[in-house]
């Protein structure tokens, strides 16, 4: 297996396919790099080098007690980028991974970054507050933590319904997709399953978004039941300079799977166009 060891001893597993301009994927909670395989295979088949890691505590990476916070996630990503010596990389982040990408640029700059794509991403901040009235009440995240503690296996099964919009009338449910979600969730360690909830819901990435100074594409479904669009993409698109926002009508949180052909086409078009503009 391809693994790097971070400064604090965590072992981070990653996939590295194809050749060409690097496209780096940061996955959502509680999943792993497997969640991006549709996009990775597609872009690798179109002449790009695709890299995706399992965030610490998730998938095949080690499961430390410490470091389940956005700063450490971003620093782990920076170590991966540096150890692979990636230049002019496109960073694609889904959900929590979008927060990881924003915080990575906030902490480490964009000197190695060519473009950014945020998909169903958590920034700027999910939790409701006086300054974020459209956010989700803290009680909802407390309920998630309680469900993880009570029976996380059943919770992952239940969560998959809303994640992919399978709880909507007329939805075509894939039990295979649900089982894959459950498997990836069960591969996440208990510390990451629990502590990452605070990381993705309470970390304010407003200032990180303002530091993004490369072409940015923001994709979000307007029926996202996990990261509602009003407090996420609609706000992020105002904070990132010259960001391009594309709203997918009726799409759920897990649209990289349910709308994979459309996501793949939008990714390829954006990366190819940005590469041409950069070369010019």
For residue 216, the surrounding DSSP H or E stretch is strand 216-221
Neighbours of 263 (CB within 10 A): 25
* Structure tokens given for 55: 């965030």
Number of folded domains that form the chain? 1
pTM above 0.85, yes or no: yes
Instruction: List the chain residues with pLDDT less than 70.
Output: 277-280
Residue 263 confidence (pLDDT): 98
Residue 170 confidence (pLDDT): 95
Which domain, by its residues, includes 170?
3-279
Matching residue, tokens 């993409």? 233
Residue 1 confidence (pLDDT): 77
d(CA 102, CA 91): 10
Tell which residue, 264, 235, 273, 278, has the closest CA to residue 98: 235
DSSP 30: T
Q: Which residues are catalytic?
A: 95, 224, 253
What CATH number does the domain containing 265 carry?
3.40.50.1820
Residue 199 confidence (pLDDT): 98
First-residue to last-residue Cα distance in the chain: 38
């Amino acid at each position: 297996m391809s693994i790097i060891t971070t400064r604090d001893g965590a072992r981070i597993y990653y996939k590295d396919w194809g050749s060409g301009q690097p496209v780096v994927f940061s996955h959502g909670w509680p999943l792993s790099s497997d969640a991006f395989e549709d996009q990775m295979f597609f872009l690798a088949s179109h002449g790009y080098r695709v890299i995706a890691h399992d965030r610490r505590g998730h998938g095949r990476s080690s499961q430390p007690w410490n470091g389940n916070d956005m700063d450490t996630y971003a620093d782990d990503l920076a170590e991966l980028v540096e150890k692979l010596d990636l230049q002019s990389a496109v960073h694609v982040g889904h959900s929590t991974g979008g927060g990881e990408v924003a915080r990575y640029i906030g902490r480490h700059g964009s000197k190695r970054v060519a473009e950014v794509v945020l998909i169903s991403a958590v920034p700027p901040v999910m939790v409701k507050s006086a300054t974020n009235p459209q956010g989700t009440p803290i009680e909802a995240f407390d309920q998630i933590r309680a469900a993880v503690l009570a029976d996380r296996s059943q919770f992952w099964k239940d969560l998959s319904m809303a994640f992919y919009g399978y709880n909507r009338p007329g939805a075509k449910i894939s039990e295979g997709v649900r089982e894959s979600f459950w498997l990836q969730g069960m591969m996440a360690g208990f510390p990451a399953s629990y502590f990452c909830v605070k990381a993705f819901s309470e970390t304010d990435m407003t200032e990180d978004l303002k530091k993004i100074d490369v072409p940015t594409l923001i994709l979000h479904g307007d029926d996202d039941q996990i990261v509602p669009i009003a407090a996420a993409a609609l706000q992020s698109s105002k904070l990132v300079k010259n960001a391009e926002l594309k709203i997918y009508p009726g799409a759920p949180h897990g649209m990289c799977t349910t709308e994979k052909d459309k996501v793949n086409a939008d990714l390829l078009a954006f990366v190819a166009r940005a590469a041409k503009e950069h070369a010019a």
